[in-house]
Amino acid sequence: MSHDTLIDDDLYRQIILDHYSNPRCHCRLENPTLTAEGNNPTCGDEIELDLQVEGGIIKDVGFVGDGCSISVASSSMLAEMIKGKTVNEAVKLAKTFKARLLSHSATASEAEETFEDVDIGELEALDGVKDYPVRIKCALLGWETLLSALNQTPNSAKEG
């Protein structure tokens, strides 16, 4: 088993570095229906997230972020994974990922609901942060920002 773990660690590091050096959807959207900002003062990570949601589907995603490799890689994975998903699917993914990272440290009341049918995909690469509370905040920054964006009233509804 230790041999497999070494391979996984190396693979995970490569996935994180790849997303950090080449973040997906790294731009602002021209006409986002939802926008949210998040920051993680403990590490200095910042993110601005734009979503274009139509008919309950996340049609487009853009983010600009400044921060450590964990926060940028996690936000890049987020952008890639939620694009084309329904709002409901994106919320389930965010909650499942949160619960996964907080499973060691969170009290029962803080733990998020998990969904058995959710595939966390490349997010598995961030499992290593579980034991480091500060890094957990880095990994969750984009996802917390996503949840706050999806809780807002869409821009179009505010204007109309």
Q: Which positions lie near Zn ion, rule CB under 5 A?
A: 43, 45, 67-68, 71, 138
- In the structure encoding, which two tokens stand for residue 71, read together? 């926060």
Q: How far is the CB of 22 from Zn ion (least distance, A)?
A: 18
Q: How far is the CB of 101 from Zn ion (least distance, A)?
A: 13
Cβ proximity to Zn ion, 68 vs 140, nearer residue? 68
- In the structure encoding, which two tokens stand for residue 142, read together? 């984009």
Q: Residue 106 is which amino acid?
A: A
Cβ proximity to Zn ion, 51 vs 138, nearer residue? 138
Cβ proximity to Zn ion, 45 vs 89, nearer residue? 45
Which residues lie closer than 8 Å to 143 by C-beta, 6 or more apart?
A: 74, 78, 94, 97, 98
Which residues lie closer than 8 Å to 21 by C-beta, 6 or more apart?
A: none
Q: How far is the CB of 108 from Zn ion (least distance, A)?
A: 26
Q: How far is the CB of 70 from Zn ion (least distance, A)?
A: 5
Cβ proximity to Zn ion, 82 vs 138, nearer residue? 138
**Other Cβ atoms within 10 Å of 93 Cβ, number:** 22
* HSE (side-chain half, CA atoms, 13 Å) at 91: 11
